[in-house]
Amino acid sequence: MGSQIRSIEYVRSIPELSSSFEILERKGQGTFASVFTVKSKQDPSSEILAMKMIIPTVELRRVENEIRALRQLKGKHGVVKMLSAMRVRDHIFILMPFVDYIAFSNYYLSLNEKEIRRYLLHLLRALEHVHRFGIIHRDVKPTNFLLDRHSRRYTLVDFGLAHSQTHGDLDANWNPSNDNQSTASPAFFNREPKNASKRPRLRLAGEVSPAFYRSLFPILQDFGPAKVARMYEGFGTPVLFNTGAGVNEKSIIKPATYPRFNASSGPGGSIPGSSLILPTTASSTSIIATASSVEVQCCCRHRLTVCRGCRALQKAPAARRGGTLGFRPPEVMLRCTDQTTAIDLWAVGVIFLSFLTGRYPFVKVNDDLEVLHVFTYLLGYERMQRGAYSVGRRLLVDPKPPPLGDTETPLSFLKKRLIGIRKLERRLVAPPPPLATPTGNQEATSPIPATTSSPLIALPNTHRFPSPAYDLVARLLEPSPHRRITATEALQHPFIRGGSSGRFSQSKEPSVPSSTATLPVFSLPHPRAL
């Protein structure tokens, strides 16, 4: 059934779409959506557009986040533009300009230093625009930053995982009345839900009516009020974190308070100032203090069950883990709950690694622990440990990687590793003929081939990039999110601005405390070769 509703025949069978658009072909498919090319039937001479169909199983909050983000960004500075959206048969359709792109694997080796700089420049400009609105893209990767084969323009797409850094999923400060495409009233956010007294569950902070969704998803044509009401019938009422005037504070879902173990009678003594949720062992005699301050004796030891006292413990807040394996930063892999726009800059650094080493994808592993291992050996154990400590975690590797030499710095260590990886990269060791001067109708200013099955090689495996390039990637791959370079700062970096020399000030590394017993431990298995 899942493949059937993603087929082009199914989309063509939807009258609301087939009456307005000619569905041409399916161009791509992801976990949560499929993309089709369409053309307006009213204007056959119009350009081809892309229609993204989001599957019904996607949570409403994700759809709302994506549409709100696209509306705020308005398609400027290299961000894809949302032309319209509609809901039919529990599917959400988003209409956008079509990008006839070249696959990243077919051109990334064809870029010289100038073109690599241009790629990063446009990506950082797009992210600077996104981050200016406090939005985290969360899925920055080459397949979401498309190069148009005709116009040679870059476009940042796929905001399916995007959300507000400050307000999470539903941004209470987002005022629909400020959006030119919206006609919804902010009063919808402050009304009490209907039949709230009949519901046994927690009351919500507000209720959203079909009128709100009519503005959130502007339909492509007028279907009539009755039909529109039926279209938006199944959306339900999302949780709105609205702390404005007129909202009952009791109706707002507040952050959970974490219980603490009273370990005075258990092994190891008390843990002063610790709010860490520790596992209960078979020999533990700890007293568990619940959120209601009622002490319950743990009695699940030696039994294949979980006692009532342990079940009464509130769970730790779930950390967001959305993103693509290999592009997620350490704070996401270590399940830190305080996540910022620095997530996207780490992904830019991973993309830059593919340019510097000629390897794509750069990390070829199966889980986050292996990714942590790879970057521990690439960036250095001490540096990764400092990054883990900065987000309240401990990182242990057995066996421990060798430390830096007496004369080595983190930058020189990383540069040596990247040069070594590029020298041994199989795509560059026995490459096809070097990239020749473009001929024919191809632009002489762009070394990117218009169509090719295997990329030409612009830079050999022995190529050494200028020092600013390695400095920039080191700043992008800073394990501590608080010290990672921002998009605005990266745009002013000498490599992006075209510099090739100069001294770079290294900010002081925070020291690792000798006592970190209260931090969660992430232990990595025996390392594998890069």
- Judged by average pLDDT, the poorest of 29-38, 278-287, 322-331, 484-493 is 278-287
Give 263 or 158, the one with higher predicted confidence: 158
What per-residue confidence (pLDDT) applies to 90? Answer: 83
∠348-352-357 over CA atoms, to 5°?
Answer: 150
Q: Nearest Cα to 523, choosing from 381, 375, 394, 378?
A: 394
What per-residue confidence (pLDDT) applies to 450? Answer: 52
- 354, amino acid identity: S
Give 269 or 394, the one with higher predicted confidence: 394
pLDDT in tens, 31-40: 889 999 999 9
What per-residue confidence (pLDDT) applies to 320? Answer: 83
Give 141 or 504, the one with higher predicted confidence: 141
Give 319 or 93, the one with higher predicted confidence: 93
Is 492 a residue whose pLDDT tops 90? yes
- Judged by average pLDDT, the poorest of 45-54, 216-225, 244-253, 519-528 is 244-253
- SS3 readout for 454-480: CCCECCCCCCCCCHHHHHHHHHHCCCC
Predicted TM-score of the model (pTM):
0.70
Place of tokens 């209470």: 172
Give 134 or 91, the one with higher predicted confidence: 134
d(CA 190, CA 244): 8
Tell me the pairing of strands 521-524 and 394-397.
parallel
Is 201 a residue whose pLDDT tops 80? no
For the chain, give the mean pLDDT.
Answer: 75
pLDDT in tens, 52-88: 999 888 888 889 999 999 999 999 999 999 999 999 8
- Judged by average pLDDT, the poorest of 194-203, 297-306, 348-357 is 194-203
| Average pLDDT of the segment spanning 349-374 | 94
Is 524 a residue whose pLDDT tops 60? no
* Confidence bin at 182 (pLDDT 50/70/90): very low
Is 286 a residue whose pLDDT tops 80? no
| Average pLDDT of the segment spanning 175-196 | 40
Other Cβ atoms less than 10 A from the Cβ of 14: the count is 16
Give 166 or 66, the one with higher predicted confidence: 66
Instruction: Give percent of the chain above pLDDT 90.
Output: 47
Give 257 or 454, the one with higher predicted confidence: 454
What per-residue confidence (pLDDT) applies to 125? Answer: 98
Is 346 a residue whose pLDDT tops 60? yes
Q: Residue 376 has which token pair? A: 């521990």
Q: Residue 352 has which token pair? A: 């830059």
- Judged by average pLDDT, the poorest of 228-232, 238-242, 297-301, 387-391 is 238-242
d(CA 107, CA 118): 14
pLDDT in tens, 384-443: 999 999 999 999 887 788 888 888 999 999 999 999 999 999 888 765 555 544 444 444
Give 11 or 184, the one with higher predicted confidence: 11
Is 507 a residue whose pLDDT tops 50? no
Domains of the chain: 103-154+321-502 (1.10.510.10), 256-316 (no CATH)
Is 380 a residue whose pLDDT tops 90? yes
Q: Residue 151 has which token pair? A: 């116009």
* Confidence bin at 377 (pLDDT 50/70/90): very high
Q: What is the DSSP string of 308-354?
A: HHHHTSPPPPPPP--S-TTT--HHHHTT-S---THHHHHHHHHHHHH
